[in-house]
């Protein structure tokens, strides 16, 4: 028996043959084939992450099953027992009023909310033909993450399909009714429209591949041509009644591009002529429109994050910073999303004239705890600029990115900036083995990273130069597809190019004086406006910049939380971007609206659900949840049934949009 016992090693570095064999087997179990050390530890981390993801998914599906298994009347019965009788859904309310389907309705979804399916792929995806890669259950993300990333990415040179891969938009209303099981996008609006007689013959989802630049959707898929034909057909088959267009989020910019494309002569445009919109469109009801871009797009492109991602990384750094599923999570997200040219459509437009400079911004003086105004008193005629609170600490929203909270708060004269634009990019920080995840940061090196941080503070004008510096390949594609300036002379022939068509500050609205344009958006939710950054302490294969979530001001009514300066909006789009054009840029006859199309602002003050049985609520002002807001749905339905903006009561405003718009000095 003594001889059968395992012998202890005589030296610390001695390993028995059996232990060595076990060690080799453990190393060979990993994807690296034993090239990296510590695989046993890393696999333990991966197992934990898989277990956690599986637990979360199981709980979600269980709750969804239980909810669906309940009698349909039970949630309403419990809710009414708590809050009292619920109001009729808008469709039922308007049906009782005698309103019926009249104008055909076209939905234009935004970025990421519409499904994408696989038509051709690599061997790792051979069983996924015509299955959703985006939307639905997202099962392939955790089953085969690297394969999924490869197929969701576009060609980094052309912005079109990679060789051997074809991913296309899902057609029909199902493309964007639900983003995932139980998570509605357009479904509630569709269901309410159906109550007054709408169906697929007079209701259409204009789905498109939201990864592509707007013009490339036509080049590759003829999407703009198909939207034009669909609108013409629906108008013709509905007795000549003009269409009501309902774009959401980035779909607002996409349809703005469409209105210029459809009038422009072929081959660049659709050849419909200057009166096409006047003949075919009754109203454009823009929901959550990022007309002037969103500051949130900047950290998305710079460091593949926004406030929610930054906080999640701080809470669980092993999930996003480490090598989960054998890939550097955020780096692969960045590599993938930087091939999506459409993301560049939402870079802030108008530069410092709109968003402010180092010492000024339109929203300065904003207080998130300020009491809302009475909606009947805040109308388009009440544009007086009131005094700012002298006791409030000034927030420099114009500094869209500040390296350090001290820089964000310092006076302009105290900020010593070293220009990064001519900086020489130094030796590489990362090893060449990181190139597949390092994106263009691999070529910046220590010198380039230091130059970015030494510039200290970036305004909207500076941000464009910053993105050109850190991602020149991406921005070269973006420069060919989009523009972010302000036009001096819209009669200049250069503005006939499609790159200007989605920027409302560089294009004219159609010659359609009877058409109406609405801006419908939520307010009352803190929304990202500017960021405090730091240089990351990580070196190998990491993104060199991060939002500094330790930057906080622990005061009631503070606008700085988790490294992000917040302002009024819908959680994604600030009020300034959603409301400026309809409040001032297009209000009346201006150089951007030469035919004087009537514009209206309809704001929806955010109110969270009273209890969990209300789901995401019927009074939400959040960017996506607003699609279930009963007041918004009613407004859309009334216009579709033949009413006008005047019938709705004109503007309804809770925010300071008119006050902020007056502070922007543009020649109109």
Residue 441 DSSP symbol: G
For the ranges 177-181, 232-236, 423-427, 544-548, the one whose mean pLDDT is highest = 232-236
The pLDDT assigned to 432 comes to: 52
> Would you call 315 exposed, middle or buried from its count of C-beta atoms within 10 A (0-12, 13-18, 19+)?
exposed
Of the pLDDT bands very low, low, confident and very high (cuts 50, 70, 90), residue 140 is: confident
The pLDDT assigned to 339 comes to: 94
Q: Which has the minimum average pLDDT: 22-26, 307-311, 418-422?
A: 22-26
pLDDT at 337 over 50: yes
Task: Give how far Cα 167 sits from Cα of 107, 148, 337, 362, Å.
Answer: 21, 11, 15, 42
- Mean pLDDT, the chain, rounded, equals 84
Start-to-end Cα distance in the chain = 97
User: Higher-confidence residue: 65 or 275?
Assistant: 275
Report how far Cα 573 is from the mean position of its chain's Cα atoms. 8
According to DSSP, the residues that pair with 205 across neighbouring strands are 107
Compute the CA torsion angle 153, 159, 164, 166 (nearest 10 deg): 70
Mean pLDDT of 298-315: 72
Mean pLDDT of 137-164: 90
Residue 73 annotated among the catalytic residues of the structure: no
| Kind and range of the H or E run holding 458 | strand 457-458
Domains, the chain, ranges and CATH? Answer: 103-293+504-522+575-663 (3.40.50.1820)
The pLDDT assigned to 504 comes to: 98
Output the pTM of the full model: 0.86
Task: Give how far Cα 67 sits from Cα of 60, 64, 86, 175, 182, Å.
Answer: 11, 5, 19, 24, 10
The pLDDT assigned to 162 comes to: 97
> Which residue in 484, 527, 658 sits closest to 585, CA to CA?
658
Q: What are the pLDDT digits (tens) for 403-434?
A: 999 999 999 999 999 999 988 876 554 445 55
The pLDDT assigned to 66 comes to: 53
The pLDDT assigned to 184 comes to: 93
Residue with tokens 């594609």: 477
Q: Of residues 462, 623, 635, 651, which has the active-site annotation? A: 623
User: Higher-confidence residue: 443 or 235?
Assistant: 235
Residue with tokens 């708590």: 82
Of the pLDDT bands very low, low, confident and very high (cuts 50, 70, 90), residue 534 is: very high
pLDDT at 260 over 70: yes
Enter the tokens of residue 167. 């991913």
pLDDT at 373 over 90: no
User: Higher-confidence residue: 220 or 322?
Assistant: 220
The pLDDT assigned to 513 comes to: 97
Q: Of residues 562, 570, 625, 651, which has the active-site annotation? A: 570
Report how far Cα 569 is from the mean position of its chain's Cα atoms. 14
The pLDDT assigned to 655 comes to: 97
> Would you call 35 exposed, middle or buried from its count of C-beta atoms within 10 A (0-12, 13-18, 19+)?
exposed
The pLDDT assigned to 59 comes to: 66
SS3 helix, strand, coil % of the chain, rounded to 5? 40, 15, 45
3-class DSSP assignment, residue 308: helix
**Is residue 598 within 8 Å of residue 59, measured between CB atoms?**
no
pLDDT at 209 over 80: yes
Cβ-Cβ contacts under 8 Å for 439 (sequence gap 6 or more)? 331, 334, 335, 338, 471
Percent of the chain beyond pLDDT 70? 77
d(CA 543, CA 328): 10
Q: What are the pLDDT digits (tens) for 493-521?
A: 999 999 999 999 999 999 999 999 999 99
Q: Of residues 153, 207, 249, 578, which has the active-site annotation? A: 249
The pLDDT assigned to 311 comes to: 52
pLDDT at 650 over 50: yes
Enter the tokens of residue 141. 């993300």
- Which parts of 156-202 fold into alpha helices (H)? 187-194
User: Higher-confidence residue: 321 or 249?
Assistant: 249
Percent of the chain beyond pLDDT 90? 66
Residue 216 annotated among the catalytic residues of the structure: no
Mean pLDDT of 187-208: 97
Residue 570 annotated among the catalytic residues of the structure: yes
pLDDT at 14 over 90: no
pLDDT at 291 over 80: yes
Q: Is the dihedral of CA 274, 278, 280, 284 positive or negative?
A: positive
Of the pLDDT bands very low, low, confident and very high (cuts 50, 70, 90), residue 214 is: very high
Q: What are the pLDDT digits (tens) for 579-611?
A: 999 999 999 999 999 999 999 999 999 999 877
């Amino acid at each position: 028996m003594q001889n059968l016992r395992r012998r202890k090693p005589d030296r610390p570095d001695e390993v028995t043959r059996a232990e060595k064999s076990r060690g080799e087997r453990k190393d060979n179990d990993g994807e690296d084939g034993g090239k990296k050390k510590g695989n046993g530890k890393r696999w333990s981390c991966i197992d934990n992450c898989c277990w956690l993801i599986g637990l979360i998914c199981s709980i979600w599906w269980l709750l969804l099953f239980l909810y669906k298994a309940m009698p349909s009347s039970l949630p309403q019965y419990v809710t009414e027992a708590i809050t009292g009788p619920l109001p009729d859904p808008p469709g039922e309310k308007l049906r009782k009023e005698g309103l019926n389907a009249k104008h055909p309705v076209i939905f234009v979804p935004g970025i990421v909310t519409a499904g994408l399916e696989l038509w051709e792929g690599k061997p790792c995806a051979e069983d996924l033909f015509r299955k959703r890669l985006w939307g639905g259950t997202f099962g392939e993300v955790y089953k085969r993450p690297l394969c999924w990333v490869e197929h969701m990415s576009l060609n980094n040179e052309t912005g079109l399909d990679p060789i051997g891969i074809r991913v296309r938009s899902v057609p029909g209303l199902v493309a964007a009714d639900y983003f995932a099981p139980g998570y509605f996008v357009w479904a509630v609006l569709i269901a309410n429209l159906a109550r007054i007689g709408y169906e697929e013959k007079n209701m259409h989802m204009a789905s498109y591949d939201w990864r592509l630049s707007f013009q490339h959707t036509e080049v590759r898929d003829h999407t703009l041509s198909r939207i034009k034909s669909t609108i013409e057909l629906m108008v013709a088959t509905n007795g000549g009644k003009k269409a009501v267009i309902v774009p959401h989020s980035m779909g607002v910019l996409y349809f703005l591009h469409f209105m210029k494309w459809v009038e422009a002569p072929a081959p660049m445009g659709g050849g419909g002529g200057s009166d096409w919109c006047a003949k075919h469109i009754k109203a454009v009801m823009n929901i959550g429109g990022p007309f002037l871009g969103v500051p949130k797009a900047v950290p998305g492109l710079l460091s593949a994050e926004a406030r929610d991602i930054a906080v999640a990384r701080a809470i669980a750094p092993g999930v996003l910073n480490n090598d989960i599923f054998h890939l550097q999570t955020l780096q692969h997200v960045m590599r993938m999303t930087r091939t999506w040219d459409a993301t560049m459509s939402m870079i802030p437009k108008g530069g410092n004239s709109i968003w402010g400079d180092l010492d000024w911004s339109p929203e300065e003086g904003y207080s998130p705890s300020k009491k809302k105004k009475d909606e009947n008193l805040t109308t388009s005629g009440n544009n007086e600029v009131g005094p700012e609170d002298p006791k409030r600490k000034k927030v420099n929203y114009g500094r869209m990115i500040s390296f350090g909270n001290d820089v964000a708060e310092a006076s302009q004269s105290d900020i010593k900036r070293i220009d990064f634009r001519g900086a020489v990019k130094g030796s590489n920080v990362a090893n060449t083995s990181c190139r597949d995840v390092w994106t263009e940061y691999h070529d910046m090196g220590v010198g380039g990273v230091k130059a970015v941080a030494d510039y200290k503070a970036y305004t909207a004008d500076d941000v464009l130069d910053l993105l050109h510096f850190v991602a020149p390949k991406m921005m070269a594609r973006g420069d060919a597809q989009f523009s972010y300036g302000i036009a001096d002379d819209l009669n200049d022939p250069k503005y006939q190019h499609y790159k200007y068509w989605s920027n409302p500050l560089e294009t004219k609205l159609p010659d359609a004086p009877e058409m109406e344009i609405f801006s419908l958006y939520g307010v009352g939710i803190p929304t990202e406006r500017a960021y405090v950054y730091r240089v990351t302490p990580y070196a190998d294969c990491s993104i060199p910049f991060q939002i500094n979530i330790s930057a906080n001001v622990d005061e009631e009514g503070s606008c700085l939380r988790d490294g992000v300066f917040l302002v009024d909006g819908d959680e994604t789009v600030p009020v300034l971007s959603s409301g400026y054009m309809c409040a001032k840029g297009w209000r009346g006859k201006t150089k951007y609206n030469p035919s004087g199309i009537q514009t209206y602002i309809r704001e929806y003050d955010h109110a969270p659900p009273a209890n969990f049985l209300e789901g995401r609520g019927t009074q939400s002002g959040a960017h996506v949840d607003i699609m279930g807001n009963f007041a918004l749905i009613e407004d859309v339905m009334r216009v579709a049934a033949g009413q006008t903006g005047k019938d709705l009561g004109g503007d309804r405003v809770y925010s300071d949009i008119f006050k902020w718009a007056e502070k922007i000095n543009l020649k109109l």
